[in-house]
Amino acid sequence: MRADVAAVRAAQAEGGAILACPAYPIYRYSWLRDGAFCAVALDAGGDRDASRSFHRWAAARVLASELPMRRAIEAVAVGHEPGPNDYLACRFTEAGAAPTGDGWGSFQMDGPGLWLWALERHVHVVGGPSRLDRDLHRAAALSAEYISAMWRRPSYDAWEEHEDRLASSTLAACLAGLLAANRLDHEPDGAQAAVDGMRTELAARAGRVGYLPRADADDAVDASILWCGPLLGAFHSSDATWTATLARVEAELLGPGSGVYRYTADTFYGGGQWPVLTASYGLACLERDGPGDRGRAESAMAWIEDQRDSQGRLPEQSSENALAPEHTAEWESRWGPLATPLTWSHAMAVLLQAALAQPDVRRA
């Protein structure tokens, strides 16, 4: 575990940003989503100072975006659509600048939700909300208000795709963020209505098809839904919907050696199996805690270990057993070799290692 914690630390800039992959130009950004999981991993690995540094960096990004976020909140309050630039960006440069003019969409609602979820977990580790400074409290309150107003808006999903849909994993992230804000004593007006609305929407989706689908009007099985269970708190491990959802992931996306694919139509770098998702599956198995589930989690961890290169680095995905290998070359010609090391891969490995080290896991 220490090596993976060190890999996350190696990707952290002096100001607290955690870069997705410092060696990969396209990923030299700090995402709120990826960084949230990385901060949780730092806490799990015992590096609370590094986790706090990220949270302070994220809070500064939220507060620097207060004007456009306020414009969005005010527009929604009077029944208008927010302006095209009235949102909190999903990723920032090491220096804290939001991306501009790169043609890559930056409106993602999972980011602020996951940041609040990670912040509350950090607070749980360090001793309560009183340990937060003024800026962290202000940023948490603003993020919760923003989520309460904006959660129904379609936005890019975890894979930076489908900007016209509302992904189930995004809903779960927003739900987790508001529940965390409540525990941090930052529940804005309308938060309970938003929580109820998210739960109703997730239940309706599952009721329509019998499992939790990728998005509204999109019934595909996508492994990002692995976060929608006990990890983020949208469903309990024994919930029938969650049981059916996890079974669909196993039937459609669990590949050779226990590595997990994103979705069956994936062609990105050939559509390989992802360490991030394989660790998420291992955590879900431990939470389900049925016959053979610990063995499945151990197999997931073994698969992740097999993906390390000679320096112990984990990639974004594995090229072996790819779903669409004929597409690998086009991505390599566009962006270069696979992103390695992917910081998020190391972070999720930490979380699975920490969970496996516990005899009875109820919180990953």
- Catalytic site residue from 160, 161, 201, 320: 160
- Catalytic site residue from 4, 34, 110, 316: 316
∠ CA 118-119-120, nearest 5°, is 90
> Rounded CA gap, 316 and 346, in Å?
10
CA-CA distances (angstroms) from residue 323 to 215, 251, 268?
22, 15, 10
Query: Would you call 287 a catalytic residue per the annotation?
Result: no
How do 273-274 and 260-261 pair as beta strands? Answer: antiparallel
> Rounded CA gap, 60 and 93, in Å?
13
Query: Would you call 157 a catalytic residue per the annotation?
Result: yes
- Catalytic site residue from 157, 187, 222, 266: 157
- In 3D space, the residue among 141, 119, 142, 148 whose CA is nearest the CA of residue 131 turns out to be 119
Cβ 195 vs Cβ 181: under 8 Å: no
Phi and psi at residue 314, to the nearest 5°: -105, 135
Distance of CA 351 to the CA centre of its chain: 13
CA-CA distances (angstroms) from residue 316 to 140, 192, 302?
30, 37, 16
CA-CA distances (angstroms) from residue 89 to 75, 103, 109?
18, 13, 9
- In 3D space, the residue among 24, 67, 37 whose CA is nearest the CA of residue 280 turns out to be 37
Beta-carbon contacts of 145 under 8 Å, excluding residues fewer than 6 positions away, are 73, 188
What radius of gyration do the chain's Cα atoms show? Answer: 19
**Residue 337 CB coordination number (10 Å):** 12
Beta-carbon contacts of 155 under 8 Å, excluding residues fewer than 6 positions away, are 107, 108, 109, 110, 163, 166, 170
Query: Would you call 316 a catalytic residue per the annotation?
Result: yes
> 25: cis peptide before it, omega within 30°?
no
Known catalytic residues are: 157, 160, 316
